Amino acid sequence: MLIKEKCGLAAASSQKEANVLPLIVNMLRALQHRGQEAWGLAVPGKEPWRMLGLVSESLGKAAAICARSPSPYAIGHTRYSTVGRTVLENVQPMMVGREFAIAHNGTISNTEEIVSRLSSYYDVPTWASDTLIVGYRIHYLLSKFNGDWFKVFEELAPELNGAYCFIILTKAGEVYAARDERGFRPLCLGWHDETSSYVVASESCALSVIGAQLIRDVKPGEIIRIKRGIIETHMFAESERPAHCAFEYTYFANPSSTLDGVSVYEARKRLGYELARLYKIEADIVIPVPDSARPAALGFSQVSGIPLEEGLMKDRYSKKGGLRSFIEPALKDRLEINRWVLPVEQTVRGKRVVLIDDSIVRGTSSRTIIKALRKAGAKSISLLSTYPPIRYPCFAGIDFPTKEELVAHKIGSDVEDLAEINKRVAEEVGADFVGYNTLEGLAKGICKPLTDLCTSCHTGNYSCLKKTPQYTQRMKKGRW
Ligand code: SF4
């Protein structure tokens, strides 16, 4: 089974023994955009509760858990995504031994190596995900280092190839939050006054929703221990540069979040400025592909002077309409979501449209939306992408398909000239013009040096991982 992790994490630890479970449930609701398939909660000394579907679909169950099992320490997880069946045994947090529950955001790519280190001590099930395998390794190292978690992570870090943020809850109620030394995935620390709790979340939007204050980001290579509401911190690994995932800023994260000091909303708006500087287009209106491209379309409109209009509406009341198509594992589900992105005929009829999207991955959404806009009477459609061409798989936590499925790869992996890539992708998706952002434009928009970002899915350069993956596509990895 192929299991891919790119998820939302939440943790809380109260100094005054307040029940933090309701906080965790609300934080997970705010992180739903990071995982739509399943979610779970854990408190010390109990089997985690794990459910399929959205948090909002099980609110009654969640309320019952909060009332029945109050706890001052808890962690939670929203999950994305699997190929194959979504089954409860893969939902997190996962219990390891009877010692701790673990939840993970990221991808560990060298699981076979870790399993081989464990084989004399553990019978690792063949279905075990990367998270559970690392959980077993932590379990082993804890006994080796007499329960010293800081030493465990010092030993573990050089062994792991990939991206990770872990949150862990021990049976004694200690919360641990650890972020890999490159800081691929976001993780932040906050304070919730009402319950006197430290809270940890994948994104600051989860802190905002419960009225908590953002204190800071968890540093790359840092582990934080929260014991009865008291914090201790330790640097377990270092690297010469960070490699924050650029795709978090363009697509994945909530625009209200601040990641590593950068407002996602502002970054997206600046990406729109960059596109307007790169591509001078004669057009009547600029419209965003909802929802993640809205700030970029606004930025494009402000610099180009082309009026911004809402020309596409997501029907939030249909079963799939409110979901995000990219993170749905099945093609039929992605198509179903795109079918519920409806053109506003009165806005687009007879107009030359600049359509702004955050990225073009498989080309499925672009093709469907362009077709719908043409049917609604758009005179011409220029599609601009805030992310440069995605041509290689991600091995650090985002579920890009195999490279053969990526439209910018399919049009010819040997084509390096951006104008030619633009032209060929336009033909593939049925647009009059396609314009991708450049790497420089991406870094400028995010307001970070290019050297602080991971852009491997565009460049094919995996030097920010410890080892370049030997496989050319994710399916070849076997255990995942
Ligand atoms: S390869 Fe792309 S999607 Fe994956 S971490 Fe790097 S920038 Fe993000």
Query: pLDDT tens, 307-319?
Result: 999 999 987 656 5
What the chain holds in terms of domains, given with CATH numbers, is 2-243 (3.60.20.10), 269-449 (3.40.50.2020)
- Residue-averaged pLDDT of the chain: 91
> Quick check: CB of 456 below 6 Å from ligand 1?
yes
The rounded percent of the chain whose pLDDT value lies above 70 is: 90
Which pLDDT score is estimated for 136? 96
> Quick check: CB of 246 below 6 Å from ligand 1?
yes
Burial class (CB in 10 A: 0-12, 13-18, 19+), 206: buried
> What average pLDDT does this structure show over 323-345?
68
Cis peptide before 260 (omega within 30 of 0): no
Residue to mutate, 247, 250, 386, 461, ligand 1, most ligand atoms under 8 Å from C-beta: 247
Residue located nearest, by CA, to atom 2 of ligand 1 = 457
> Quick check: CB of 454 below 6 Å from ligand 1?
yes
> In the predicted model, is pLDDT for residue 251 greater than 80?
yes
The pLDDT tens digits for 121-173 are 888 888 888 999 999 999 999 999 999 999 999 999 999 999 999 999 999 99
Q: Torsion angle, CA of 266/270/273/274, rounded to 10 degrees? A: -160
Least confident of 24-38, 85-99, 304-318, 324-338: 324-338
Residue to mutate, 179, 452, 454, ligand 1, most ligand atoms under 8 Å from C-beta: 454
425 conformational bin, left if phi > 0, alpha if psi -120 to 50, beta if neither: alpha
Strands 175-179 and 188-192: unpaired
Which pLDDT score is estimated for 472? 47
Q: Is the dihedral of CA 152, 157, 161, 167 positive or negative?
A: positive
Atom of ligand 1 nearest to the CA of 456: 1
Q: Which two tokens stand for residue 464?
A: 């920010």
Which pLDDT score is estimated for 294? 97
- Separation of alpha carbons 95 and 101, rounded Å: 4
Is position 188 annotated as part of the catalytic site?
no
The pLDDT tens digits for 67-126 are 999 999 999 999 875 433 556 777 899 999 999 999 999 999 899 999 999 988 888 888
* Selection from 10, 59, 8 nearest residue 33 by Cα: 8
Which pLDDT score is estimated for 6? 65
> What average pLDDT does this structure show over 5-31?
93
Which pLDDT score is estimated for 5? 47
The pLDDT tens digits for 265-293 are 999 999 999 999 999 999 999 999 998 99
Q: Which residue has the higher pLDDT, 284 or 320?
A: 284
